[in-house]
Chains A and B, each alone.
Chain A
């Protein structure tokens, strides 16, 4: 099976712009979750989707949003970018039933200048 695919791999944006990141899960996985990874904070949970429904959300401002499509692909959007949004954004998929292990993508490296 193909692994979790995230696009693009790298993004450079300026403050105030918005950005959309994409994630294609492993075939058959219905849950997609997003994490922000920074050197000092480690992995911080953003949100989780299952069958197009957001089941949980982390402590991030409303500028961070996401959605999931009927084919389980997911997108994450960040509006009004700030310098502090520079990070590696990781997507992970899982079967979504009960507590199932996460399968991670390679991430999208976002740099905000």
Chain B
């Protein structure tokens, strides 16, 4: 079965510290992986997708097929990064499977 696991419900870091939000998936084929973010009082929006291989707002994510992971990383957290982050998988069947989300709190 296809599944996305985000093991941390809440992650608190200090401003300027590195951040890593974990995402593991189970899927036997070649999925497309995404990170979506929801800032306070805003709608859920795309942060980045693995095929783009780009950095958005300082965040990067590398797809590791061997470990079936797609962790989101940022070297220096900012207060404005505080939000809810969802990892999502699309297997090409017109549906996304989302993880349960990780709330990131960046402390001043």
Pairing of A with B: yes
Number of A-B contacts (CB under 8 A): 49
Given the complex of chains A and B, what is the CA–CA distance between A103 and B96 in angstroms? Answer: 12
Given the complex of chains A and B, what is the CA–CA distance between A77 and B94 in angstroms? Answer: 20
**Interface of chain A, main secondary structure:** strand
In the complex, which of the residues A40, A102, A106 contacts B96, with contact meaning CB atoms closer than 8 Å?
Answer: A102
**Interface of chain B, main secondary structure:** strand
Q: Which residues of chain A come closer than 8 Å to B90, judged between CB atoms?
A: 99
User: Interface residue count for B (Cβ, 8 Å)?
Assistant: 20
A73-113 contacts to B, CB under 8 A, are 90, 92, 98-99, 101-107
- The reply to whether B98 and A43 contact each other, CB–CB distance below 8 Å, is yes
- The reply to whether A42 and B99 contact each other, CB–CB distance below 8 Å, is yes
Q: Which residues of chain A come closer than 8 Å to B101, judged between CB atoms?
A: 42
